[in-house]
A = this chain, B = another copy of it.
Amino acid sequence: MQRYFIDEAIQVEQQVTLTGETAHHMLKVMRMQPGHRVELVTPDEQAFIGELTELDATDKTVTVTVQSPITKSVELPIETTIVCGLSKGDKTDWIVQKGTQLGAHRFIFCNSQFSVARWDDKKQAKKVARLQKIAQEAAEQAHRTHVPTIEWRNSLTAVAQESATIKLVAYEESAKDGEHAQLVQSLQTAQPGDRLLCVFGPEGGVAPKEIEMLAAAGFKMAGLGPRILRAETAPLYLLSAISYVTELATL
């Protein structure tokens, strides 16, 4: 069933009138008819099933009668922020699209020492708006109730000041014999509601000085297995591992 984020609170049996892009998508892209059912998600992240009762192609409005709440929890129990040093090309798009499907709560993009791409203050507003749109579409497709927020920081120094329960940097590490990997240590003690923030370097990685600065700010270095992952793949590994541990293995 198609899912839409709407900008007002609703309740069961209420009729809600939708306009703008949402109505356009229902009428023109999906060619929905009266009786068609959709999922609506409110700004406070409550999901409902509703039925289309009136469609007005001239006014471009759609009226939906709210039928029942959806109570199934679909958000990662650990609120995960993905911090990425800027990579080349459309990798930011991919990170946001796939990372949203896999449950990221928030994305922070930032200039870093080894970033090839740079965003200046003027460019970043446009980029963030574009990525926010990608996040919303991906959240609708993934049937989430939370749209990840997209943020921008000028450097990793600004990121180091973020507060979180678990602060990690994805980093090549050779785990010693008999010692659990850092990621496993962090996830084994994590509780639902904890906030995890993980920094991922651009293609060239995180610079030694940046690593030093993040370590001083309480970040732990976490390896993600023995293979070299590219900048856009590593965040997906982390999110999948968190889902496996907190959503599948703990049932």
Contact = CB atoms under 8 A, between A and B. Distances in A.
Interface stretch (A5-13, A58-66, A177-185): A177-185
Interface string A173-204: 01101111101100000000000000000000
B227 A248 contact: no
Contact of A180 (B102, B179, B251): B251
A221 interface: no
A175 B251 contact: yes
A110 B223 CA distance: 34
Contacts of A161: none
Interface in A192-251: 223-230, 233, 236-237, 240-241, 243-245, 247-249, 251
Nearest to A99: B233
A225 B247 contact: yes
The quantity of this chain's copies bound in the complex is: 2
A80 interface: no
A211 B56 CA distance: 40
Given A248-B183, A249-B180, A144 B233 contact: no
Point out which of A101, A143, A240 has the most chain B C-beta atoms below 10 A from its C-beta: A240
A230 B245 CA distance: 21
A142 B229 CA distance: 6
A105 interface: no
21 contacts: A72-B226, A101-B229, A101-B230, A101-B233, A102-B237, A142-B227, A142-B228, A175-B248, A179-B251, A180-B248, A181-B248, A184-B248, A184-B251, A223-B248, A224-B243, A225-B243, A233-B236, A237-B240, A240-B240, A240-B244, A244-B244
Interface of A: 72-74, 98, 101-103, 141-144, 174-175, 177-181, 183-184, 223-230, 233, 236-237, 240-241, 243-245, 247-249, 251
